[in-house]
Amino acid sequence: MKSVDGHLDEVVAAVRPLSPLDLQILDAQGCVLAEDVAAPWDLPPFDNSSMDGYAVYAADVAGATPQEPRVLSVVGDIPAGSPELDRIPPGQAARIMTGAPMPAGADAVVPVEWTDGGIAQVAIDRPAQEGQYIRRQADDVHVGTTVLRAGTRLGAAQVGLLAAVGRDRVVVRPRPRVVVLSTGSELVEPGEPIGPGQITDSNSFMLTIAAREAGCLAYRVGIVPDDPRTLIATIEDQLIRADLVITSGGVSAGAHDVVKAVLSQLGTVTFERVAMQPGMPQGFGHIGPDRTPIFTLPGNPVSAFVSFEVFVRPAIRRLLGAEPLARPLVQAVTEDAFTSPEGKRQFARGWLAGTAAEPVVRTVGGPGSHLMGSLARANSLIVVPETVTEVPAGSTVEVMILERRLS
């Protein structure tokens, strides 16, 4: 049997990051930057007010109180967007709005709430600290600084920053297009009635969402019966829109395991037994004129899910150009005892809780690879090394975090 690490190394080495594209920033959502982005100007680009109020000399309002306000004449009105401004002389004030540039001379902003709101002159009833409510030029970012590095995934805040530094387009690696199909003559669409011996297809939904969560544009093709010709025709039809193909089912030793039967003949997809539980039967290779990578995952839903996490997600991250490839692992103390098969790496479904300083984990459900109910209640996978067969309660284990926010 092949080791998990050996198989992972092989699949990761067999995929290449997608070629970069120049995209409008709104279209770059979820993509990974393929260039470093530097700020062409300071952020903020100029000193500006962080409040609606009055630009003043702090010295002019020293000692102001509600009983003895300082009264200043108001020489101007500065809305956001004002261009070059005249210097204001000492003893005077200018009305200023949030985001408007500070006039030369003034060294503080007094919020309108501390004043009578006057237009020709203003009574100010509190003293001001020099510099208060002024956002200084470059206090966020200096001109020329790299604000986003190649390899950064673009979410809302990152796209906002691109816009703030004036970028309308950006060079990114595109989101991989992933085609997902399920094989099995026993499968029916959810929403349809199930007859005797039938089950609904859950894998293609699960894997499509998993691929999207990993940053792909994923297309669910759905169910393909265990028929060699239909299978090969369906895969060939889909290659046009795929950077990666994922199938599930039909890779074990059964008489009707058509994925293995059909794709083995092509000679470009290899089927192997990987020393893991769940997920032992794995297939990986390339298919079609563009040598599109294809993963053929086992049909049992938990096996398919774990295989995705262990092999497909790292390969997707490589296509994306994202690092690190692997999910974060944390060490946690297990609350329950459980066993693990000799010679296989076990990925037990877990519930990670406790605190960041003292994480604890317990198993969720048993080892059966059909246990969808317990998979959906897990937030992590407990990774048990090949050499370990007994995990006592209270021992330290490695945990792969799937989802931090589940409760």
Q: Residue 295 CB, nearest distance to ligand AMP (Å)?
A: 13
Should residue 300 be labelled a site residue for ligand AMP when binding is judged by CB under 6 A? yes
Cβ neighbors of 213 (< 8 A, separation 6 or more) are none
Tokens of 137: 């030029």
Should residue 184 be labelled a site residue for ligand AMP when binding is judged by CB under 6 A? yes
Should residue 298 be labelled a site residue for ligand AMP when binding is judged by CB under 6 A? yes
Q: Which helix (H) or strand (E) holds 276?
A: strand 276-277
Q: Residue 299 CB, nearest distance to ligand AMP (Å)?
A: 2
Q: Residue 295 CB, nearest distance to Mg ion (Å)?
A: 16
How far lies 92's CA from each of 58, 72, 114, 124, 392, in Å?
11, 5, 16, 12, 76
Closest CA to 190 of 253, 102, 182: 182
Are 295 and 284 in contact, with CB atoms under 8 Å apart?
yes
Are 285 and 268 in contact, with CB atoms under 8 Å apart?
yes
Comparing every residue's Cβ against ligand AMP, the nearest one is: 299
Question: Residue 120 or residue 253: which is nearer to ligand AMP going by CB?
Answer: 253
Q: Residue 213 CB, nearest distance to ligand AMP (Å)?
A: 18
Q: Residue 194 CB, nearest distance to ligand AMP (Å)?
A: 11
Applying CB under 5 A, which of residues 176, 249, 281, 293 lies at the interface with Mg ion? 249
Q: Residue 173 CB, nearest distance to ligand AMP (Å)?
A: 30
Question: Residue 255 or residue 357: which is nearer to ligand AMP going by CB?
Answer: 255
Q: Which stretch binds ligand AMP (CB under 6 A): 32-40, 196-204, 228-236, 344-352?
A: 196-204
Question: Residue 235 or residue 319: which is nearer to ligand AMP going by CB?
Answer: 235
Pairing of strands 92-96, 70-78: parallel
Closest CA to 7 of 293, 280, 262: 280
- Binders of ligand AMP in range 233-252 (CB under 6 A): 248-252
Should residue 184 be labelled a site residue for Mg ion when binding is judged by CB under 5 A? yes
Residue 203 interaction partner, one of ligand AMP, Mg ion, none, beta carbon < 5-8 Å per kind: ligand AMP
Should residue 368 be labelled a site residue for ligand AMP when binding is judged by CB under 6 A? no
Peptide bond into 359 cis (omega under 30): no
How far lies 392's CA from each of 189, 366, 381, in Å?
42, 16, 17
Closest CA to 247 of 209, 195, 290, 282: 282
Should residue 194 be labelled a site residue for ligand AMP when binding is judged by CB under 6 A? no
Total residues binding ligand AMP (CB under 6 A): 19
Should residue 301 be labelled a site residue for ligand AMP when binding is judged by CB under 6 A? yes
Residue 187 interaction partner, one of Mg ion, ligand AMP, none, beta carbon < 5-8 Å per kind: ligand AMP
Q: Which stretch binds ligand AMP (CB under 6 A): 107-115, 168-176, 200-208, 209-217?
A: 200-208
DSSP 335-372: SS-EE--TTSEEEEEEEEEE-SSSEEEEE-S-S-TT-H
DSSP state, residue 325: -
Q: Which residues bind ligand AMP (CB under 6 A)?
A: 182, 184, 186-187, 199, 201-204, 248-252, 254, 298-301
